[in-house]
């Protein structure tokens, strides 16, 4: 199975900050990577798919990049609603493995 | 929209069937997945099922114990969970694959709200 490794596991930031989260795949997955936002008690929300395509309705402050085994999620100016846990997920295979998550907290 | 049935409390070794009722899209043209989140842990992929239901795939942690199924006439997805263990305690989510006719090459665009399953004596 493909393993996904996210870093950092958590970060503290302030409103307005630019943050970047990294995700590494154990083997090449081309651009078949998604990013989700997850808040307690809520369903995960798809933000970005195919590494860099913004899902409809998602604010443009979210962006993704990468291919092969290295990927990043960037939030250009953190907003109060963005404090949540973020997960990457590979969908290169039927086993749609997730990274371990990055919790974004208020500094 | 995806609405999961209530989970519940079950003893170790017991069984439970979850269901996920779908509406608002042509159910039988989309693969579906189950994902879970144990307390204090991250998201874990559990199972993928094709739109026809013919093809199913499972995480190693549930292989041989869990069975995914679907009744396309009722727009409903199922997860039959047998031989439950303490470490199966989690919130279980159903989710829809974003693109028609594929079990790979697409992420999940719609998710249910999740249902809590507790395995404990």
pLDDT tens-digit profile of B37-76? 999 999 999 999 999 999 999 999 999 999 999 999 999 9
Which of B44, B95, B104 has its CB closest to that of A94? B104
For residue B82, give every residue at least 6 positions away whose Cβ sits within 8 Å of its Cβ, in sequence order, or none.
B15, B65, B66, B67
Residues of chain B with Cβ-Cβ distance to A46 below 8 Å are: 98, 107-109
What is the tens place of the pLDDT at every residue in B72-90?
A: 999 999 999 999 999 999 9
**Interchain contact, A97 vs B45, CB within 8 Å:** yes
Any A CB within 8 A of B3 CB: no
Give SS3 for B90: strand
Q: Which of A55, A56, A94 to mutate to test the interface with B (most CBs of B within 10 A)?
A: A94
């Amino acid at each position: 199975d493909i393993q996904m490794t996210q870093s950092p596991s958590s970060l503290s930031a302030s409103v307005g900050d630019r943050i970047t989260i990294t995700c590494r795949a154990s083997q090449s997955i081309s651009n078949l990577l998604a990013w989700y936002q997850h808040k307690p008690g809520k369903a995960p929300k798809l933000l970005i798919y195919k590494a860099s395509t913004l899902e409809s309705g998602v604010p443009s402050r979210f962006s993704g990049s990468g291919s092969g085994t290295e990927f990043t999620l960037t939030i250009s100016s953190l907003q109060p609603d963005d404090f949540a846990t973020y997960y990457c997920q590979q969908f290169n295979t039927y086993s749609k493995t997730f990274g371990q998550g990055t919790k974004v907290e208020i500094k | 929209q995806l609405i999961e049935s209530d989970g519940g409390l079950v003893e170790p070794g017991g069984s439970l069937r979850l269901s996920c009722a779908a509406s608002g899209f042509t159910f039988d043209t989309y693969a579906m997945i189950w994902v879970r989140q144990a307390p204090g842990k991250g998201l874990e992929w559990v199972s993928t099922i094709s739109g026809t239901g013919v093809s199913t795939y499972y995480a190693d942690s549930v292989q041989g114990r869990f069975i995914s199924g679907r009744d396309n006439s009722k727009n409903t997805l199922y997860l039959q969970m047998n031989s439950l263990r303490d470490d199966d305690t989690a919130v279980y989510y159903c989710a829809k694959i974003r693109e028609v006719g594929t079990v790979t090459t697409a992420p999940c665009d719609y998710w249910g709200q999740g249902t809590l399953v507790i395995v404990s004596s």
